[in-house]
A and B are shown apart, each in its own frame.
Chain A
Amino acid sequence: MNAILLYFLLLKATLVSFSGLASLPIIHNDLVVQRQLLTERELNTAVGVARMGPGPLGLYLVCVGYYVAGIPGAIAGCLAMITPAFLVIPLSRYLGRRADQPAVQRIIHSVILAAAGLLIASTIPLARDAVNNLQSAGLALVSFLILAFTKTDTAWVIVGSATFGLLSFAAFHLL
C-alpha cells in the first residue's frame, strides 16, 4: 500500500483517540478486517514489540506501518503518531483554561469510556489467535492482573513472559 494513503488511514485512527491503545480498534477495523493488509498476529506482534523498549504506547503504529508498507510505512506510522500532538498549540490558543469546563470533560470522558469498550472488542479476535492453551491463557491473565493492579512496568511483563516461554520450551523439549 502507498505510504501516503497509509499515513492518512493511521492518522484517522490517532485523530479520534485520546489515550494509550485507544486507536487500536480503528486500526484493527481498517487494516485487519476491512482491507486485510495486516493479520491479527501481526497487529498483536506490533503492540508487543513496541512495548519492549521505552517510549509512548502509540509507538506500535511504527510497527504497524512497517508491516503494511516497509520502511516508508514505518515513517508514515511515526508521523501519524506525532501529527495530532501539534493540535495542542491551537487548542491552548483558543481554548486555554476553558479546557477544564465540565461539558468538555464529559465529552472526553464518554469518548474514552467508549474507546475502552472498543479496545475490549478488538482484544477478542487477537486473543483467539494468541491464547490457545492453558499456558497462554495463564500468561494473559497474569499479565492483565499485574498491569491493571500494580505499578509494574510493561517492559518487565514482556521480558518475564518471554523468559517463561523460553523456560517452558526448554523444559518440554530438552528434558
Chain B
Amino acid sequence: MSRPGLGQLTSIFLRAGNTTFGGGDPMIAAMQRELLHSRKWITDQQFALGYSLARLTPGTNVLAFSAAAGWFVRGILGAVAAVFSVSLPSAMLALWLLIAYQHAQSNPWVQAAAAAILAAVVGMMAASAWLLVQPRLQSSGLARCLLLAAAAATLHFQAHMSPLLILLIAAVAGSMWKEPARQ
C-alpha cells in the first residue's frame, strides 16, 4: 500500500480533532476509527504503543497520541502536521469565543449566563479530579488513591507546598510503594 500524503494525513486529523467534543478519549476513539479501521495507515501494535506512550507523555494525551500516529505514518513532518491540525482550529475558536465574551461581558444577560457557566465549571473541575482517580481505584486500591490525593490536596492547600514539589514526592512515593497484587 502506498504511503498516505501529508495532505491526507492533515485532513484526517483536522476532522477528528476539531469536530469531536468531550476531550481526549472520544478524540482518540475517532482517530482509531479513521487511521486503523478505515484506512489501515497504522497497525494494531502501533496504535497500542502510541496509546500507552501517550499516557506516559506529559501534557495533553490526545496531542501526544496524534504526534505518535503522525510520526508512524509520515515521520517528523507527519507528527508536526498531525499535532497542528488537531489543535490549531479549536485553539482559534476558543480564543475567538473568549474575545467575543470580553466584548459582551457588560451585558447583564451575558453576565447571567457567564455566572451559571462559572458555577458549572467548578463542578466540572471536581468531576475531572474524580475521573483521574476513578480508573485507578481498581489497580491502585482505594486506600492508596485516597491517601495520595488527600495528602497532595492538604500539602498544597494547608501547607502551601509548591505543586511541582508535591508531584515529585508522589513520583518517588509511587516508585517505592508497590501496588497491591491483582486478583
Contact = CB atoms under 8 A, between A and B. Distances in A.
B132 A112 contact: yes
Interface residues of B, number: 98
B136 A113 contact: yes
Contact of A99 (B18, B52, B140): B52
Interface string A15-58: 11111111111100100000000000100111111111111111
A15 B65 CA distance: 15
B59 A83 contact: yes
A25 B21 contact: no
Given A49-B94, A113-B145, A54 B174 contact: no
Nearest to A23: B59
User: At the interface, is chain B mostly helix, strand, loop or mixed?
Assistant: helix
Contacts, number: 379
B4 interface: no
Contact of B116 (A54, A95, A161): A161
B124 A143 contact: yes
A106 B163 CA distance: 19
B64 to A, nearest CB: 4
Contacts of A112: 132, 136
B24 A57 contact: yes
Given A121-B157, A157-B124, A17 B58 contact: yes
A146 to B, nearest CB: 8
Contacts of A103: 175
Nearest to A96: B49
A118 B58 contact: no
A132 to B, nearest CB: 9
Interface residues of A, number: 111
Interface string A56-86: 1111101100110001001000100111111
A136 B130 CA distance: 20
A147 B172 CA distance: 31
A14 B59 contact: yes
Interface of A, helix, strand, loop or mixed by DSSP: helix
A142 B117 CA distance: 12
A52 B148 CA distance: 32
Given A87-B64, A120-B129, A161 B153 contact: no
A8 interface: no
Contacts of A117: 129, 148-154, 156
B54 interface: yes
Interface string B53-80: 1111111111111111001000010010
Q: When A and B form their complex, which 3 residue pairs have the shortest distance between CB atoms, in order from nearest?
A: A110-B174, A165-B116, A55-B90
Interface of A: 12, 14-26, 29, 41, 44-60, 62-63, 66-67, 71, 74, 78, 81-89, 91-92, 95-97, 99-100, 102-104, 106-124, 126-127, 129-131, 135-137, 139-148, 153-155, 157-158, 160-166, 168-169, 173
